[in-house]
A = this chain, B = another copy of it.
Amino acid sequence: MKTEKIPEATIARLSVYSRYLTKLEKEGIVKISSGHIAKGISGNPAQVRKDFAYFGEFGTRGVGYKIVELNNNIKRILGLNKVWDTIIVGSGNLGTALAQYNGFSDRNFNVVSLFDNDVEKIGSNIGDIEIKSIDDLEGYLDNNEVEIAILTVPSSNAQTLANRLIAKGIKGILNFSPTVVNAPGDVQVRNIDLTVNLEILSFNITLNNKEE
């Protein structure tokens, strides 16, 4: 299996397929066609078959895919056959909201700790998760196997904190700070810039309004 050749758009769709298949599993459904998967996620059947073919799932015409088996294969490819302990750095409104986001734990991302530099917050809990001092970040990462961190800090601190995380072995950063965070090649960073996304909307709306 040449997973290194799977395009990112396919990986993103695999994630969406898998959540849909999980929903069907819970409903007790056993088999499904590519057409029904496509319909369930507002995609198209040819795309579904093409995406699955990357990892050798071809289904059988008229029979379809066995849901549990297919979903297990997708989850294994996405790395979801294990629990990923995850920390959140920055316990502002967004960090706090993400700590309580059920969508993560449903998919084996287990938020184990929040870190902040605000003495008023340190020691308090968000649900079951304790807010720890940012000074304890290195010590925590020395003693706990964590590979993924979510960064929700001001722009001015983002790169410094990313460097500290990377120095202690973090392999993936989901960055919500409104600045690009750089990392060496063996560390994955996904920058989610909320403002950029709104500005792409305002650009497109402005363009559409002009054309009308």
Q: Are A107 and B198 in contact (CB under 8 A)?
A: yes
Question: A188–B198 Cα gap in the complex (Å)?
Answer: 10
Quickly give the copy total for this chain.
2
Please encode chain A, from 168 to 212, with 1 for each CB lying within 8 Å of some chain B CB and 0 for all others: 000111100010101000101010111111111111111111010
Across-interface contacts of A98 in B (CB, < 8 A): 94, 194
Judged by DSSP, the binding face of A is helix
Q: Which residues of chain B are near A119, meaning CB under 8 Å?
A: none
A174-B201 in contact given A42-B180, A195-B103, A196-B12 (Cβ < 8 Å)? yes
- Which of the residues B103, B148, B194 comes within 8 Å of A202, measured between beta carbons? B148
Q: Contact size class for A?
A: 35 or more
Complex Cα spacing A95 to B30, Å: 36
Q: Please measure, in the bound complex, the distance between the C-alpha atom of A206 and the C-alpha atom of B77, giving whole angstroms.
A: 8
Known: A80-B199, A180-B42, A190-B200. A97 touches B104 (CB 8 A): no
Interface residues of A in 69-101 (CB under 8 A from B): 77-80, 84, 86, 92-94, 96-98, 100-101
**Contact yes or no, A103 B178, CB < 8 A:** yes
7 new A-B contacts, CB < 8 A, other than A16-B180, A188-B204, are A11-B199, A15-B193, A79-B206, A97-B97, A172-B201, A172-B202, A174-B201
